[in-house]
A = this chain, B = another copy of it.
Amino acid sequence: MAKRSYPLAKVYSLLEPGPVLLLATAGKTRPNVMALSWHMPMEFEPPLVGCVLGNRDYSFDLLKAARECTLNIPTVDLADQVVAVGNCSGRDTDKFQSCGLTAKPAKLVGAPLVAECYASLECRVADTRLVNRYGLFILEVVQAWVDGAVKAPRTLHHRGWGVFMVAGETVRLASGMR
């Protein structure tokens, strides 16, 4: 898959539909990855993204310490890998290896990209004020990569307890909203 650099001003449009993400961190001894659905755009440019992580998640500590991560967007062909990532912990498992995913070096951050995802965002933690209270990390996206061949990604959208909605048809309406 050939991912190319993607305009930062358009990053919000990748996240706004609400896909399940894979959040990757460098880890202390090996890279780690978790599934994440609690996220939203918070600013167009520079692109800011709010993410809520549980404070018992292994990635919570890793992200708090390293202050860098990547957000990667899987499509439905990676559903088994996404579920596998959600069902184990990086505390005792090399999740990239056990879940069949490939960690690829990023350009600007120490956290790896997930090679199999059609889009990857390199992020630095921009604001930690509400981390302790809500687990809310505000990230700035500093570099984005997208496979330009994917126009209508069949992303996964979590409804809870293993039920996912898969992105359906695209409609174009006369909206003036960015």
A interface list, Cβ under 8 A from B: 10, 12-13, 16-19, 35, 37-43, 48, 50, 52, 76, 79-80, 83, 86-87, 127, 129-130, 133-136, 138, 152, 154-155, 157-178
**A86 contacts B175, C-beta separation under 8 Å:** yes
How many copies of this chain does one complex carry? 2
Taken together as a complex, chains A and B put the C-alpha atoms of A83 and B136 apart, in Å, by 30
Sample of 13 A–B contacts (CB below 8 Å) = A12-B160, A13-B160, A17-B18, A18-B18, A37-B41, A50-B50, A50-B52, A79-B171, A130-B130, A161-B177, A162-B174, A163-B170, A164-B173
**A165 contacts B177, C-beta separation under 8 Å:** no
Closest approach, in angstroms, between the C-beta of A38 and any C-beta of chain B? 5
Taken together as a complex, chains A and B put the C-alpha atoms of A172 and B76 apart, in Å, by 12
Known: A40-B39, A52-B41, A165-B170. A87 touches B176 (CB 8 A): yes
**B152 contacts A165, C-beta separation under 8 Å:** yes
**A172 contacts B167, C-beta separation under 8 Å:** no
**A157 contacts B161, C-beta separation under 8 Å:** no
**B157 contacts A87, C-beta separation under 8 Å:** no
Closest approach, in angstroms, between the C-beta of A119 and any C-beta of chain B? 12
> Which B residues are in CB contact (< 8 Å) with A86?
175-177
> Which B residues are in CB contact (< 8 Å) with A161?
175, 177-178
> Which B residues are in CB contact (< 8 Å) with A174?
83, 87, 162
